[in-house]
A and B are shown apart, each in its own frame.
Chain A
Amino acid sequence: MIEVEHLTKRYGPVTAVQDVSFQVHKGEILGFLGPNGAGKTTTMRVLTGYMPATDGRVVVAGHDVFEQPVEAKRRIGYLPETPPLYPDMTVREYLQFVAKIKGVPSGDRKSRVEQVMVRTWVADMAGRACGKLSKGYRQRVGLAQALIHNPDVLILDEPTAGLDPKQIIETRRLIKELAGDHTIILSTHILPEVSQTCDRVVIINKGRVVAVDTPHNLMGRLRGAETMFVQVDGARASEAAAALAKVPGVVRVAPADNAATGAFEVESEKGRDVRRELAKAVVLGGHDLLELRPTRVSLEDIFLSLTTEEQPEEAAS
């Protein structure tokens, strides 16, 4: 449904996005994750045809965004970072205007506007001027605006920003509901949002794609292996380490960071559960096993490790 190939965007000498490629399949929710200034908004603006790319190609619903912009835009609903509202229009007037310029046939406009207002919970504010809405309502009117022409593709730049917790849950539920009929890209810097709503994640940092995977796979993928935390009584730690290393399936044994002597991180081959063997090896070697647990890597850790890779490498070496 969406194909992005080697997308590069430069502002003068500054490269905002470099060689970004990914695909989104029909009905999927893709999370676009990255710290502020990573190039999320720039990428989305290129996808929506707001600005042209310096290099590369974007095809949305079969139409090249640069070559057939009008056709592509007909199929895209876009919620920018700041909802693009006209403060002096009422919510209903505003949505009617958007419906008009998005090409909703005049006969369907009225019912479509009412329908979308109900769906995004703004119907009670229909007669209120957009400029007088609270942040949460603005965001939802922005969402309504993106949905008005029932587009194939929804591009949402931080859709839950500025909402209260209840609204966030409702909005996420709405996005999930929309996913079947619509293909959705949403950007966020909030991690739980990605694991809760997205089918796949693109992690972007400094304008480059760092990883593309499902949230589930990303969890297990940090080092391409399972990691176990093992702590033995500190007395003969090095002997214990040697014993652990001999266990079949173990790839690497290293002293754990920030822990007492006798604490190790044991990495094993992917998909192989070595907990029993590890316990046995420790006990048979005559050591006292204090702790043995798998270290689950949260998406947050992945995110941090992926996006802060550059400085720590220098610092560590």
Chain B
Amino acid sequence: MNNVLAIAHKELRSYFASPIAYIVIGFFALLFGWFYIGILDWFVRQGMQMGPMGMGQSNMNVNQQMVRPLLLNMTVVFLFLLPLITMRTYAEEKRSGTIELLLTSPLTDVEIVAGKFLGAMGLYAAMLAVSLLHFGLLFAFGTPEWKPLVTAYLGLLLFGGCFISVGLFISSLTKNQIVAGAATFGVFLLLWVIDWIGQGMGPRAEAVLKYLSMTEHLDDFVKGVIDTKHLVYYLSFITFGLFLTVKSVDSERWRG
């Protein structure tokens, strides 16, 4: 475990020593703020319209009508930002030769992969933490429920974890960061739209594609529901991505 943390710490440090962390977090903050203002504005106007119409404000729910669409929209932003986090993880070590240090140290492949995963998750979590600031404002001036917010962030962490595990795998396949980044983005996009073509393919195919879709599983978390089905989906997805990464690093050794 100490080894895993040592690698994770090193990864985090290198994110923050380079512009990557600042660019990712900075743009996330900007975009999140933008979305936040947009939805808040819509929500407030909606409330003002409903008030005089006698429907009362009791039907308005901050969690359902503001937090939920906001967070679901933000997942599009992750699509663009997460490849920036994962693309260098292995590609850079291979290019600069530092992979030789890691692979000749008394570490197992699993420890290295887990460390890199945790490091990337750390940066992702730091990015998400920025958005908590905005929700803090909601609590200061309104009365949202905190429980669905907690499950929503759990869902987002798992959702990002899936992307990060895939990104790690793709980064482990190449020496070139740009190639890794572009391929990762392509795969993320595919995972994103995977259920879009389901409707024309019959009910069974539709169900399968829907199950594979990443966002499909996020909705319940954001609503405040922790369903084992979704937990299993995300955790097995992450495990599979990390497993592929370990195998890829191992096979790289054999190929030399």
Contact = CB atoms under 8 A, between A and B. Distances in A.
B73 interface: no
Nearest to B99: A84
B98 A84 contact: yes
A292 B23 CA distance: 78
Given A85-B98, A102-B106, A52 B10 contact: no
A138 B238 CA distance: 38
Interface string B1-19: 0110011001001100110
Contacts of A71: 106
Contacts of A9: 256
A177 to B, nearest CB: 23
Contact of B17 (A78, A80, A89): A89
Interface string A87-123: 1110001000110111100000000000000000000
A73 B109 CA distance: 13
Contacts of A16: 256
A50 B103 contact: yes
B98 A86 contact: yes
A187 interface: no
Interface in A8-57: 9, 11-12, 16, 42, 45, 48-52
Contacts of A81: 97
A37 to B, nearest CB: 14
B105 interface: yes
Interface in B54-110: 96-108
B251 to A, nearest CB: 11
Contact of A76 (B14, B104, B253, B255): B104
Contact of A11 (B3, B10, B108, B255): B255
Contact of B6 (A86, A88, A97): A97
B254 interface: yes
Contacts of B101: 80, 84, 98, 145
A73 B14 contact: no
Interface residues of B, number: 26
A82 interface: yes
A97 B10 contact: yes
Instruction: Please indicate which of the listed interface residues B13, B100, B104, B255 has the most CB atoms of chain A within 10 Å of its own CB.
Output: B104
B230 to A, nearest CB: 35
Instruction: Please indicate which of the listed interface residues B7, B97, B103, B107 has the most CB atoms of chain A within 10 Å of its own CB.
Output: B103
A73 B105 contact: yes
A252 interface: no
Contacts of A84: 96-101
Contact of A50 (B3, B100, B255): B100
A70 B106 contact: yes
A176 interface: no
Contacts of B97: 80-82, 84
Nearest to B17: A88
A100 B103 contact: no
Interface in A56-80: 70-71, 73-74, 76, 78, 80
Nearest to B111: A101
A11 B98 contact: no
A10 to B, nearest CB: 9
A102 B253 contact: no
Contact of B105 (A52, A82, A87, A102): A102
B14 A51 contact: no
Contacts of A88: 13-14, 17-18
Given A84-B101, A100-B6, 10 more contacts: A16-B256, A50-B104, A70-B107, A73-B104, A73-B105, A86-B96, A89-B13, A89-B17, A98-B105, A101-B6
27 contacts: A12-B255, A48-B104, A49-B103, A49-B104, A50-B103, A52-B254, A70-B108, A71-B106, A73-B104, A74-B106, A78-B100, A81-B97, A82-B96, A84-B99, A84-B101, A85-B96, A89-B14, A89-B17, A98-B105, A100-B3, A100-B6, A101-B3, A101-B7, A101-B105, A101-B106, A102-B106, A103-B106
